[in-house]
């Protein structure tokens, strides 16, 4: 009798239809913060067979960040559920981050009832108009019978390249209303939102292959979409067969593991300055890559640029390209080695590709020189602590399958330089939108996605202020995470540049020595303060051994500024 009652409740309303559609696309967790407008979604999760995990957070942005990180780590879509009005507006920065990162996230939201619309209902707000510019689609479902199919469509769109967030709010009566028998739900091909690989254009491949075969100083850049598109193995194989120097960014990090002979990220300045051909795959030509301008130094001609993307709308239009490709990235990389070999073959036989003679060895030497030059600071005994010493202590403690998350400015910029993943899918940062506060949501998702692996969250002290309250979420849901706060008591990304421009700075100071570790302890976790460089290593080992959310609060030298080459402006 109880089972019959559960089955009748699970099929009784729009919330159950939505949960069934989400589960068909591989969703296992609903990230949310409690709100009455979305109660049927919770009921649908609890009464599903088996139940869908509900993970409740302390701020709606954390729910969306967790859903986004789930998508980026597992390559299945993430689900966030937000209550109406402020629940939605609190999640806007996180939705925007997912949009900039191309992360397949579905955000389902409550909505004031249609029958009272315009009368001033609680939290009555037309959300889609706000969300439309930062999603692939933002819409409303008004009918219970169509909720399942609308959610199914949302997941299909989110997972179709170029991936991104989709927003759907559901009118109160549609979500709470009884589902009629035979209501349309999930199509038979649920979970296959990604488009089937299109036939490769042999002309495009040949053109790109000829450019590579004719290059003397090529560089291949691998970005996040190579990972999220499942092209990491094909990209690695292509790079190794062609002996191409590789620079990685975003979630492209780890496709060539740390120490790989072709990985020249540590020599990126020289590579981009001297290259005659740069092939950029799976990432936009934005401020992180000099807006697509490479070479051209010391009177040399500018490098030719090839942009490889997963969808036509992602190919750069703001800078001149020698060639471009839009489509399945795995298929592209699988076809590339043979095409380059054919382009380099003459009647005398296959030619030795020119960059193996001098260019690749020069970049490899530059990598070694950079590592040698940095070794002193990675072991620095300076007091106050140099932030690089933290990474010198952390790197040897990281397992091959560790997930490292960066949420901060200067402190995390050091991580991007000195923490090199050993596997793909082991790095998360906010991406090109540069939104602080991603860290706790990303850490929650990482612990769920990798339950037995190390999860390390690197926090600037400024970033800590955005989301540290969600340590309570880690504690309540028993999710151990190691947090390391680089605490210099300033907004470093702003203080040093403002001083350089104006000779002074304002609104760039934080509380010196703030005890963020005590905040974590008060919330039920653990932590400690570190002020001496020799104490960093032992504190980190205690954090990894603790089995609880643990924050190592390291007081660093505020006079040290990260030597960045771009402000993104």
pLDDT digits (tens, 9 = 90+) for 299-358: 778 999 999 999 999 999 999 999 999 999 999 999 999 999 999 886 655 567 889 889
> Which pTM was predicted?
0.94
Largest CA distance in the chain: 83
Residue 344 structure tokens: 């380099």
Strands (E), 416-512: 427-428, 455-460, 482-487
Residues 134-183: tens digit of each pLDDT:
999 999 999 999 999 999 999 999 999 999 999 999 999 999 999 888 76
Residue 5: band (very low, low, confident or very high) from pLDDT cuts 50, 70, 90: very low
- Classify 118 in phi/psi space as left (phi over 0), alpha (psi -120 to 50) or beta: left
Q: Which long-range contacts (CB under 8 A, 24 or more apart) does 5-10 make?
A: 6/47, 6/49, 7/49, 9/43, 9/47, 10/44, 10/47, 10/48, 10/49
Residue 313 CB coordination number (10 Å)? 10
pLDDT at residue 442, as a whole number: 98
- Classify 299 in phi/psi space as left (phi over 0), alpha (psi -120 to 50) or beta: left
Q: Are the CB atoms for 543 and 482 separated by under 8 Å?
A: yes
Residues in the chain: 569
More confident position, 195 or 156:
156
* Of 69-83, 85-99, 272-286, 344-358, the least confident: 344-358
* Of 23-37, 199-213, 336-350, 445-459, the least confident: 336-350
CA 400 to CA 397: how far, in whole Å?
Answer: 10
* Of 43-57, 414-428, 457-471, the least confident: 414-428
pLDDT at residue 200, as a whole number: 78
Give the alpha-carbon dihedral of 278, 280, 281, 285, to 10 degrees: -170
Cβ within 8 Å of residue 4, ≥6 positions away: none
Cα angle: 24, vertex 28, 30; to 5 degrees: 110
pLDDT at residue 563, as a whole number: 81
Cβ within 8 Å of residue 372, ≥6 positions away: none
Residues 479-490: tens digit of each pLDDT:
999 999 999 999
**DSSP H or E segment with residue 107:** strand 105-111
Residue 149 structure tokens: 């199919």
pLDDT at residue 181, as a whole number: 80
Cβ within 8 Å of residue 539, ≥6 positions away: 528, 530, 552, 554
CA 260 to CA 424: how far, in whole Å?
Answer: 13
Residue 451 structure tokens: 């339950």
Count of H-run helices and E-run strands, the chain = 23, 19
pLDDT at residue 193, as a whole number: 54
pLDDT at residue 10, as a whole number: 46
Average pLDDT rounded to a whole number, residues 529-541: 98
CA 440 to CA 217: how far, in whole Å?
Answer: 41
CA 447 to CA 84: how far, in whole Å?
Answer: 28
Tell me what the pLDDT averaged over the chain comes to.
Answer: 93
Residue 45 has pLDDT above 50, yes or no: yes
Q: Are the CB atoms for 41 and 174 separated by under 8 Å?
A: no
Residue 7: band (very low, low, confident or very high) from pLDDT cuts 50, 70, 90: very low
Average pLDDT rounded to a whole number, residues 371-389: 95
pLDDT at residue 297, as a whole number: 80
Cβ within 8 Å of residue 152, ≥6 positions away: 21, 24, 25, 185, 186, 187, 190
Q: What is the per-residue DSSP string for 281-318?
A: ESS--SGGGGGG--B-GGGPPBPEEEEEESSGGGS--S
Average pLDDT rounded to a whole number, residues 433-455: 97
Residue 149: φ, ψ to 5° = -70, -35
Q: Is 5 exposed, middle or buried (0-12, 13-18, 19+ CB in 10 A)?
A: exposed
The sign one gets for the Cα dihedral 305, 311, 316, 317 is: positive
pLDDT at residue 189, as a whole number: 59
The answer to whether the bond into 162 is cis (omega within 30° of 0) is yes
3 state DSSP class of 347: coil
Proportion of the chain above pLDDT 90, given as a percent? 87
Residue 514: band (very low, low, confident or very high) from pLDDT cuts 50, 70, 90: very high
Residue 203 has pLDDT above 90, yes or no: no
CA atoms within 13 A on the CB side of 19: 30
pLDDT at residue 184, as a whole number: 67
Cβ within 8 Å of residue 145, ≥6 positions away: 179, 180, 183, 184
Residues 249-286: tens digit of each pLDDT:
999 999 999 999 999 999 999 999 999 999 999 999 99
Residue 395 CB coordination number (10 Å)? 15
CA 334 to chain CA mean position, Å: 25
Closest CA to 68 of 234, 224, 232, 240: 224
Proportion of the chain above pLDDT 70, given as a percent? 93
Average pLDDT rounded to a whole number, residues 395-403: 96
Average pLDDT rounded to a whole number, residues 541-566: 92
pLDDT at residue 1, as a whole number: 38
Q: Are the CB atoms for 473 and 65 separated by under 8 Å?
A: no
Residue 402 has pLDDT above 70, yes or no: yes
């Amino acid at each position: 009798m109880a089972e019959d009652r559960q089955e009748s409740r699970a099929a009784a309303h729009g919330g159950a239809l939505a949960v069934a559609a989400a589960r068909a696309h591989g969703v296992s967790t609903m990230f949310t913060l409690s709100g009455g407008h979305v109660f049927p979604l919770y009921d649908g999760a609890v009464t599903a067979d088996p139940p869908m995990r509900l993970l409740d957070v302390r701020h709606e942005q954390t729910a969306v960040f967790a859903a986004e990180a789930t998508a980026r780590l597992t390559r299945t879509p993430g689900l966030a559920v937000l209550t109406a009005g402020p629940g939605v507006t609190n999640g806007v920065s996180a939705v925007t981050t997912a949009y900039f990162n191309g992360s397949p996230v579905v955000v389902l939201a409550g909505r004031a009832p249609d029958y009272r619309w315009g009368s001033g209902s609680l939290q009555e707000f037309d959300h889609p108009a706000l969300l439309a510019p930062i999603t692939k689609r933002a819409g409303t479902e008004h009918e219970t019978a169509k909720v399942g199919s609308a959610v199914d469509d949302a997941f299909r769109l989110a997972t179709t390249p170029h991936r991104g967030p989709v927003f759907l709010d559901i009118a109160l009566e549609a979500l709470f209303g009884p589902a009629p028998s035979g209501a349309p739900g999930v199509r038979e091909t649920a979970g296959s939102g990604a488009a089937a690989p299109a036939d490769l254009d042999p002309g495009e491949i040949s053109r790109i292959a000829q450019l590579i075969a004719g290059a003397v100083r090529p560089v291949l850049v691998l970005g996040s979409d190579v990972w999220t598109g499942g092209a990491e193995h094909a990209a690695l194989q292509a790079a190794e067969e062609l002996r191409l120097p590789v620079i990685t960014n975003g979630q492209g990090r780890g496709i060539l593991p740390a120490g790989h002979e072709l990985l020249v990220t540590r020599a990126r300045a020289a590579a981009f300055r001297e290259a005659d051909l740069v092939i950029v795959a799976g990432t936009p030509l934005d401020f992180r890559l000099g807006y697509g301008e490479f070479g051209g130094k010391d009177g040399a001609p500018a490098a030719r640029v090839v942009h490889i993307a997963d969808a036509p709308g992602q190919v750069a239009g703001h800078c001149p390209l020698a060639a471009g490709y839009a489509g399945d990235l795995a298929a592209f990389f699988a076809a590339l080695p043979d095409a380059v070999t054919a382009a380099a073959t003459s009647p005398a036989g296959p030619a030795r590709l020119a960059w193996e003679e001098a260019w690749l060895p020069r970049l490899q030497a530059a990598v070694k020189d950079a590592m040698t030059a940095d070794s002193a600071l990675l072991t620095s005994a300076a007091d106050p602590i140099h932030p690089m010493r933290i990474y010198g202590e952390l790197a040897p403690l990281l397992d091959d399958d560790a997930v490292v998350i960066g949420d901060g400015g200067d402190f995390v910029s050091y991580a991007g330089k000195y923490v090199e993943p050993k596997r793909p899918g082991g790095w998360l940062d906010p991406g090109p939108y540069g939104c602080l506060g991603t860290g706790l949501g990303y850490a929650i998702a990482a612990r769920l996605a990798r339950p037995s692996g190390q999860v390390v969250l690197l926090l600037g002290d400024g970033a800590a202020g955005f989301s540290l309250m969600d340590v309570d979420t880690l504690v309540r849901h028993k999710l151990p995470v190691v947090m390391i706060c680089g605490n210099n008591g300033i907004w470093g990304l702003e203080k040093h540049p403002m001083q350089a421009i104006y000779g002074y700075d304002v609104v760039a100071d934080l509380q010196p020595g703030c005890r963020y570790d005590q905040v974590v302890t008060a919330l039920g976790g653990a932590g400690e303060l570190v002020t001496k460089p020799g104490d960093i290593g032992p504190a980190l080992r205690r954090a990894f051994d603790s089995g609880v959310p643990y924050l190592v609060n390291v007081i660093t030298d505020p006079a040290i500024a990260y030597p960045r080459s771009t402000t993104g402006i």
